[in-house]
Structure 1
Amino acid sequence: MSSTLQDLVNRAVFYSTEVQTHFGALIADAEWEVDFSSDPHLTFTSADGAVLRTRPHLLGSESDREKTWLWGWENVNDFPDAVVGLSHDVRKFGAAEGVTELTTAELSLDEELALRLTLAAKEATGKWAHYPAAAGAGTTVWLLVDAAEIALPAPQVKVSVRALMQGLTQTTVSDHLAAIESYVAKRGIPTAELPEGGLRMLFADGCADLSFDDQRRISNCDLNEPLEGEAAEQFAAADSTGTPTEAAAASRTPGATSTSATEETAAPSTTTPSAPTPTPEEEPSRTESQPVDEPAAEATPAAEAQADEAAEPAAEAADASPEQKRSEDEQARAGEPVEPAEEKTPAAEEPAKETKPKKKGLFSKLFGR
């Protein structure tokens, strides 16, 4: 059975949102650098010297100047297969599912496209963290990130409800019910049916009762904790089957151990990667990157939505515009420093301004929004 890009976004959005929030807690206030050699790594170093070394996979890049997305598998920079290999897997998945956006080398850009393609790639590959990095000249490189430390802890009712509400603010979700069914399957969260098509999500620390309108959108969310009464009996009955526990274990990174959602875990220190010095007059290509020396964004609370708020209906999905041809000046050139993704607008600001624009929170930065 074939899928659409929207189907993949629906299936990925809530689980991705929870992972991104957890990932953000691990790297808050950290400086980072990336190496696209045959041993690719994206390294985060905190102020106290703790190092988290992750494995990046280059998905693609978006250019504000050209208003296009270019898939990593097109590989105009001749990166090693270790860097772009996973993007080829996304292309193969897209071919098998009939998703043309995953098999077209270059796509016309809109505000949400890069994030939506990244969500689809997560569903295709099972790599659930991503990092958007600014590469200069209005280009942002989108990476999938793999590390044992990113594995999620056991589900908690407030964390999961927050992931649902925040996920709806990130992009268009056309079928909330289908998206939630995909999320609970990935997280191993048992559920129970409620009257009039409602759904109860069951957790060890509480439950969330969801209502839906006639378009399968969330119309109300009632969060209850601690777990008691009928919900406690339903959770005990589901837990006795062993299914939730097994599904939750399967949703984690192999070999990973549980950590608190706010606990900052770091891998052992590693040697800082080196790279050739960039030539000043040369312009960056779409997918280049070199080590950076700028700090990551200030730590801000990743979860701003109240866990017990009801979700508002999402906007209708926007169609991707027609494919554009790549201009000649977009061919590969020597590297430029990669800087943390701050805004989709040019980095330069007018010095005379009295009030500086408000910085994005870490959660928004990690989503590239």
Structure 2
Amino acid sequence: MTKTLQDLIDESIFISTEYQARLAELTQGAEWDVDFSAPAFTLQTDPPVSLTPYLLGTESTSRGSWIWSWQELGHFPDTVVSAAVQAREAGRRLGVEELSTDELPVADGLARRLTLAAKAVTGVYAHYPAGAGGGVTAWLLLEGPELELPELTVERMMRVIAEALTTDTAVDHNLAVDSYAKLRGAHIEWDTEATCVVTVRDGAQRFWFDDHQISGVEPAEPTVGPDVLADLAADARARAVALREDRAAAESAAAREASRPQAAAPEAAPVPADARQEESEPLEVPDFVETEHVAPEHAAPVRENEQPRETAEPVAAAADGDLPFDQEPSDRDVRPGRVSTTVVPGPEPVRPAAEEPREPVAERIPEPAAEREVEREVVAGPGVPGSAEAEPVVEGEEPAEEEQGERKKGFFSRFFGL
């Protein structure tokens, strides 16, 4: 069975709109921050609300593309990328290339369309477009008991459908109504392709369609009783459980892929001593991504009489510019929330076998050339010798995670559009 991206969007559009309205009730314009190492998306409400974030990908205007978070696994916790991996696997099964292609050129509304399609195959129906600064938006799916929806009523159903249709996102309204009824445990009975009756707890509505567009709605007599509706609600819950189990399998798949050894890079040619002086500084990970290259128990010791390093206050983002509705995020600049992640240790680098010792050959040693002084900015942070966050390096010993750290910086530079 194959589907299109639009099919998946139509299947999720109505229930997505309902969840976005519920998320808006929770946020109430509050600030937020996200910690992928927890993982937690926290709304600074009173009391605070913590939801589970799933990172789908990032859209960057400067980079000009969308990148799925599964493009290079191992940089984020497996739970955080599990929904994206689940969407990728569904895309492969259903023939939806947009879900299984790691990078796509930016197009109007593409990120939102990919997010809506991902909802249909993951069962996580709330999303948040989190502005990360620099023209980058990280698209998150959010899940938590606080987002649980009340029982569907006629009034609620009609309000949700009317709101969703104002976005002009749905194309096949027949498919959208049918999917929404089943996901919400309602009963739907099709008389013909042009009309159906949807029965909920407190009544029923007849929908009329013209060329797969809703052309009219009117009250109708319920076609089933409470017992049937209870069974349908149980079916909807079972469908949600099956999708959660599918996501757990995707999380395990992400862990396996992240643990696969990376291909060894070809040995580089020797670099002259003079050229080493002019090498550029390593790329800094952006401020809105807090990396933890060193585990707490292996952190660099604090010397006696040394002042402890001050910890930066978490930066929270104003939610006004990223309204959690089924719409494009605002163009207004928004300060990024704190994004935290932990490096997953990678495989040991492949080292060449030791060569047989050779007989020493006498040669003239030229006079050492005067070393040129090059003014360079000292970058503090993990992996920089002398940094407060760097682990002490024993002479003659190479840092175990140097290669992994460089790989992570390279991925972040692409993923966050630097």
1:24 aligns with 2:24: yes
Q: Which has the higher contact order (CA 8 A, sep 6+)?
A: 1
Q: What is the aligned partner in structure 2 of residue 206 from structure 1?
A: 203
3-state secondary structure, aligned to 1:170: coil
Determine which of 215, 231, 234 is the counterpart of 1:219. Answer: 215
Q: Distance in 2 between matches of 1:171 and 1:54?
A: 29
The answer to whether the Cα contact below 8 Å between 2:128 and 2:322 also exists between their aligned partners in 1 is: no
Q: Distance in 2 between matches of 1:42 and 1:173?
A: 29
State TM-score, norm by structure 1: 0.65
The answer to whether the Cα contact below 8 Å between 2:129 and 2:138 also exists between their aligned partners in 1 is: yes
Encode CA deviations 1:60-98: one digit per residue, 9 max, x unaligned.
Answer: 011122331111111489223232232122111111111
Cα pair distance change 1:197/1:26, threshold 3 Å: same
Q: Distance in 1 between matches of 2:205 and 2:41?
A: 37
Give, in angstroms, the shift of residue 207 of structure 1. 2.6
The answer to whether the Cα contact below 8 Å between 2:184 and 2:233 also exists between their aligned partners in 1 is: no
The within-5 A match list for 1:1-369 is 1-37=1-37, 39-46=38-45, 49-75=46-72, 78-193=75-190, 197-213=194-210, 215-222=211-218, 224=219, 231-232=221-222, 234-236=223-225, 239-240=227-228, 242-250=230-238, 284=286, 288=289, 291-297=314-320, 343-344=330-331, 346=333
Give, in angstroms, the shift of residue 13 of structure 1. 0.9
Q: Distance in 2 between matches of 1:298 and 1:63?
A: 16
Aligned positions, number: 272
3-state secondary structure, aligned to 1:121: helix
The answer to whether the Cα contact below 8 Å between 1:29 and 1:299 also exists between their aligned partners in 2 is: no
Cα pair distance change 1:241/1:71, threshold 3 Å: closer
Q: Distance in 2 between matches of 1:29 and 1:294?
A: 10
- Unaligned runs of 5+ residues in structure 2 are 243-282, 292-313, 336-418
Q: Which amino acid aligns with 2:94?
A: E
Encode CA deviations 1:275-319: one digit per residue, 9 max, x unaligned.
Answer: xxxxxx96749x94795334433999989xxxxxxxxxxxxxxxx
The answer to whether the Cα contact below 8 Å between 2:128 and 2:324 also exists between their aligned partners in 1 is: no
Q: Which amino acid aligns with 2:6?
A: Q
Give, in angstroms, the shift of residue 29 of structure 1. 3.1
Q: Which amino acid aligns with 1:216?
A: H
Cα pair distance change 1:251/1:231, threshold 3 Å: farther
Cα pair distance change 1:131/1:298, threshold 3 Å: closer
3-state secondary structure, aligned to 1:133: strand
The answer to whether the Cα contact below 8 Å between 2:23 and 2:324 also exists between their aligned partners in 1 is: no
Cα pair distance change 1:298/1:63, threshold 3 Å: closer
Cα pair distance change 1:63/1:199, threshold 3 Å: same
The answer to whether the Cα contact below 8 Å between 2:188 and 2:198 also exists between their aligned partners in 1 is: yes
Cα pair distance change 1:284/1:221, threshold 3 Å: farther
Give, in angstroms, the shift of residue 171 of structure 1. 4.9
Give, in angstroms, the shift of residue 208 of structure 1. 2.3
Q: Distance in 1 between matches of 2:153 and 2:106?
A: 36
Q: What is the aligned partner in structure 2 of residue 365 from structure 1?
A: none
3-state secondary structure, aligned to 2:169: coil
State TM-score, norm by structure 2: 0.58
Q: Distance in 1 between matches of 2:168 and 2:62?
A: 22
Encode CA deviations 1:129-159: one digit per residue, 9 max, x unaligned.
Answer: 1111000011100011110111111001122
Q: Which amino acid aligns with 2:30?
A: A
Give, in angstroms, the shift of residue 231 of structure 1. 1.1
